[in-house]
Amino acid sequence: MTEPISLTTALASFTELWSPRIVARVNDYDIRVAKVHGEHVWHVHDHTDEFFLVLDGELTIALRDRTVLLRRGDVFTVSRGTEHKPSSQTGASILMVEPSGTLTVGDRHDEVPAHVDATTGHIL
Amino acid sequence: MTEPISLTTALASFTELWSPRIVARVNDYDIRVAKVHGEHVWHVHDHTDEFFLVLDGELTIALRDRTVLLRRGDVFTVSRGTEHKPSSQTGASILMVEPSGTLTVGDRHDEVPAHVDATTGHIL
């Protein structure tokens, strides 16, 4: 085990958008934080749910049948197999929980734009 | 899938200490929040790590060889098999990530005092 990590410090250590950093692990799950602004890409995780907590700002998650808005301190889980597209008009910092190895763009996705990092998360 | 949940609203909906509420699930994991004040109990989870994020206040986690202090916005994972005793002198609100069914007092523990809820988490 290591020392506690400050999410504020962790978020201050990088500037890349849509490029999650792994701040902790719980068994075979990652706790990731990311800075986001603008639009991610439509994608789906066929085999896993994905949990979101908004640490700062506002995050919109488009689903095919509706759109959910998460404000600071809101949590939401996107169920496996559900197409979704995160975005943030104002910018946000978010925390995610998902199995280690989960790709940010899922198992199926639209064409990935250059500003979206297709990654399983970076070490802090 | 349901609507987003505000952690502030969730925390305002109950007063019991050391009695986690399940605010979301991710596959077979729970996202739980709890209000804490005073001392929990020495215990160990033999088969799972346990993740802590301090939402407000300060949380101390005693381990057998050291003590870690988590301030607001700090994260820490207690590794499986590690004896630990959470406490908070000032009171705190915390978020935890652990497999559904995980007991708050672990697989082995000291005598559970009346103010500690031995539970696998309550529905919000």
Smallest Cα–Cα separation from A44: which of A81, A95, A16? A81
Query: Residue B59 burial (CB < 10 Å; 0-12/13-18/19+)?
Result: buried
Smallest Cα–Cα separation from A93: which of A26, A4, A16? A16
| pLDDT of amino acid A2 | 81
What is the C-alpha to C-alpha distance for residues B59 and B77, in angstroms, rounded to an integer? 13
- Note whether A33 contacts B: Cβ–Cβ < 8 A: no
Cβ neighbours of A71 in B, within 8 Å: 4, 6
- A105 domain-assigned: yes
What is the C-alpha to C-alpha distance for residues A18 and A87, in angstroms, rounded to an integer? 10
Predicted ipTM?
Answer: 0.95
Per-residue pLDDT reduced to its tens digit, B65-80: 999 999 999 999 999 9
What is the C-alpha to C-alpha distance for residues A66 and A52, in angstroms, rounded to an integer? 17
**Least Cα separation, residue A99 to chain B (angstroms):** 9
- Main-chain phi, psi angles of A121, to 5 degrees: 100, 145
Q: Is the pTM of this model over 0.90?
A: yes
Smallest Cα–Cα separation from A53: which of A30, A28, A70? A70
Q: Which residue of A has its CA nearest to B1?
A: A79
Q: Which H helix or E strand runs over B109? A: strand B108-109
- A2 domain-assigned: no
What is the C-alpha to C-alpha distance for residues B13 and B2, in angstroms, rounded to an integer? 18
Cβ neighbours of B78 in A, within 8 Å: 1
Binary contact (B26, A53; C-beta < 8 A): no
Closest Cβ–Cβ partner in B4, B68, B77 for A26? B77
**Which has the minimum average pLDDT: A21-25, A54-58, B83-87, B115-119?**
B115-119
Computed over every residue of chain B, the mean pLDDT equals: 96
What does the pLDDT average to over A114-121?
A: 93
- B2 domain-assigned: no
Residue B1 pLDDT exceeds 80: no
Alpha helices in chain B (DSSP H): 7-12
What is the C-alpha to C-alpha distance for residues B105 and A59, in angstroms, rounded to an integer? 35
- B1 domain-assigned: no
- B20 domain-assigned: yes
What does the pLDDT average to over A96-119?
A: 94
- A14 domain-assigned: yes
Domain that holds residue A56: 7-123
**Least Cα separation, residue B80 to chain A (angstroms):** 8
Strands (E), A1-124: 5-6, 21-26, 29-39, 43-44, 50-57, 59-63, 67-70, 74-78, 84-99, 108-109, 122-123
- Using the 8-state DSSP alphabet, how is residue A25 labeled? E
| pLDDT of amino acid A1 | 64
- Note whether B78 contacts A: Cβ–Cβ < 8 A: yes
Give the CATH number of the domain where residue B72 resides: 2.60.120.10
Tokens for B27, please give them: 């596959």
What does the pLDDT average to over A46-50?
A: 98
Residue B84 pLDDT exceeds 70: yes
Residue A49 pLDDT exceeds 80: yes
Per-residue pLDDT reduced to its tens digit, B95-110: 999 999 999 999 999 8
Quote the number of domains for chain A.
1
- Note whether B48 contacts A: Cβ–Cβ < 8 A: yes
- A1 domain-assigned: no
Tokens for A26, please give them: 């719980």
Q: Which of helix, strand or coil describes residue B9?
A: helix
- A46 domain-assigned: yes
Q: Which residue of B has its CA nearest to A76?
A: B4
**Least Cα separation, residue B49 to chain A (angstroms):** 5
